[in-house]
Amino acid sequence: MKTLLVLYLCVYVAWAQDNLDYDDYGTDANASNKNATTGTSVDARGHRPLMKGRESYSRNRYSPPPVGGVSRYRGRPTPAPVGGQQVQEKEPQPDAGGCTHASEMMGVLCPTGCELKTTLLKQETDVKTSINQLKPQVDDLSRSSNNIFNYVNSMSNSLRERQRVFNDNSRVVSQYTDRVEEQHAYIKETVDTLFPSNIRVLQGVLDKIRLKIQKLEKAIQAQKEECKEPCKTKCPIPVVSGKECEDIFRRGGQDSQMYLIQPDAFTTPYKVYCDQSTQNGGWLLIQNRLDGSVDFGRRWDEYRRGFGNIAFDAGKGHCETPGEYWLGNDRISQVTKMGPTEILIEMEDWTGAKVNAQYRQFTIQSEASNYVLAVDGYSGNAGNCFLEGSLELFGENRTMTIHNGMMFSTYDRDNDNWNPGDPSKQCSREDGGGWWYNRCHSANPNGRYYIGGAYTSQMAKHGTDDGVVWMNWKGSWYSLKAISMKIRPYFASR
């Protein structure tokens, strides 16, 4: 019984610790739960958890390599041999071969051994002479035999090779004969049946081409008639240019319109819209939404390069009206990394009311880091979505809507914090555009454009707040009429 009681207390303590591992934000969370029961709570996107639980442990996938380097020890010394092999000393023998100093162990020579030796030595001399005379003859005979043997072998091999080549040639001739007969039958059939029909088809195609040529000649003649007078550019580019809009302003380009900038000598010049009137000018427009004429549901490469219409002429002879466009992540990153940069985000609702959010520091990293966003120093009256998230949410729900420190995501490149790697859970796919999504957003300037402002989950493609949203001003279900993002170099004495 005591054991069961102790076990029950341990389980209860563990459960209590789990409940104390998250912060429910006191009365705010209680009020949120109370509102949930009464049906007046904030709709916090179905994939957001309602309360913060214990985080799951994720093991590090990196495995360190084995320790390398030089060993502290050297090789062991070779031990000396304990005892060497006994070498038997050679017993000296007396002079062997003489007639008077024979060894007893070798036997006893007969009395006439010396004479026999002398006779044998003489015979050996005569035999050596005869052998030396026969040796050249034997060598000549051996060489002749080898030459004859090699010649016979080469003749046999040549005969076998010729027989093999003859057999192969006969087989190849037979095969080619069969193929020639097949090709002849095919050519005869083609000439008799296919060529006439193909000629008729080509004749019809040729007639159509003649008609197209006649139409093109007429169109060219019409163009020549229209182009007798020199053409005029609808949007002439001003003579003044610079590294960015602040540089253009200092060089005399103080009218708000389209300009040509070149941030450094290694970059090809490109067109931008410069706002030279708001807050003393110098603003480079990097994003603009005003009428929904441009689709912002684009791929990664399009957001990297940029898309849309920079500016157009409203009748004054120069491009003074900005269009809907995204400057391009590569260009935004390059300009913001040239030095301290501030950003101004201006918004307008469908009643004409306007607010703004401004950050003294704004930097976009390069593509190698997936264009990480970094901002600081908020001011304005629209609400600090980048750093604080959505103020209508609480706890973890608010934390997951902060955009600062996030990587850029598009529907074909998922870099958000909502179950990374899961293709069915992508913020960009649900929310309509490329952006620095967390899980998912409190601001969605590149979302889908809804005319009129208010929209519902039934109108949304995925049932989510995918409009042009700035939650801290108009909430999740109000799509703004216009929003723009402008950057310029920051300096304190401005």
pLDDT reported for residue 291: 93
> For 208, phi and psi rounded to 5 degrees?
-65, -40
What residues pair up with 322 in beta bridges, in sequence order? 311
Given a contact cutoff of 8 angstroms between Cβ atoms, the answer to whether 344 and 277 are in contact is no
Cα 410 → chain centroid: 15
Taking only the tens place, the pLDDT of each residue in 299-319 is: 999 999 999 999 988 777 778
Q: Report the candidate in 307, 262, 267 with the shortest Cα–Cα distance to residue 286.
A: 307
3-state secondary structure of 234: coil
Task: Kindly report, residue by residue over 100-151, the tens digit of the pLDDT.
Answer: 544 555 555 554 556 667 777 777 787 788 888 888 888 888 888 888 888 8
What pLDDT score does 335 carry?
94
Task: Give residue 325's pLDDT.
Answer: 96
Answer positive or negative: Cα dihedral of 477, 481, 487, 493. Answer: negative
Indicate the helix (H) or strand (E) that contains 130.
Answer: helix 113-189
Where the chain has pLDDT below 70, the residues are 1-116, 229-234, 493-494
Averaged pLDDT score across all residues of the chain: 79
Query: In sequence order, what are the beta bridge partners of 448?
Result: 467
- pLDDT tens sequence across 7-43: 555 545 444 444 433 333 333 333 333 333 333 344 4
- DSSP string of 418-485? SSTT-TT--HHHHHSS-B--SSS-SEETTSB--TTSB--TTTSSSSS--BSEEHHHH-TTB--SEEEE
- pLDDT of the residue at 115: 67
- Reading the block at residue 425, the tokens are 């859970």
CA angle 216–219–220, rounded 5-degree value = 85
What percentage of the chain has pLDDT greater than the value 90? 43
Residue 264, SS3? coil
Predicted pLDDT at 76: 43
- Asked whether the beta carbons of 382 and 345 are under 8 A apart, the reply is yes
pLDDT of residue 147: 85
Q: Find out whether 263 and 399 touch, Cβ atoms under 8 Å.
A: no
pLDDT at 352: 95
The Cα–Cα gap between 1 and 145 comes to 112
Query: What Å distances lie between residue 370 and 307, 408, 450, CA to CA?
Result: 18, 6, 29
Question: Strands, E, within 133-192: which ranges?
Answer: none
Q: Which helix (H) or strand (E) holds 75?
A: none
Q: How far apart are the first and last CA of the chain?
A: 78
Closest CA to 443 of 484, 400, 476: 476
Q: Which of 447, 442, 371 is nearest to 409 (CA)?
A: 371
pLDDT value at residue 38 = 38
* Pick from 458, 464, 414: nearest CA to 436: 414
What are the chain's domains? 245-489 (3.90.215.10)
How far is CA 243 from its chain centroid?
30
Alpha helices in 315-417 (DSSP H): 329-336, 385-388, 396-399
Structure tokens, 333: 């990153």
Residue 31 pLDDT:
36
Prediction pTM value: 0.57
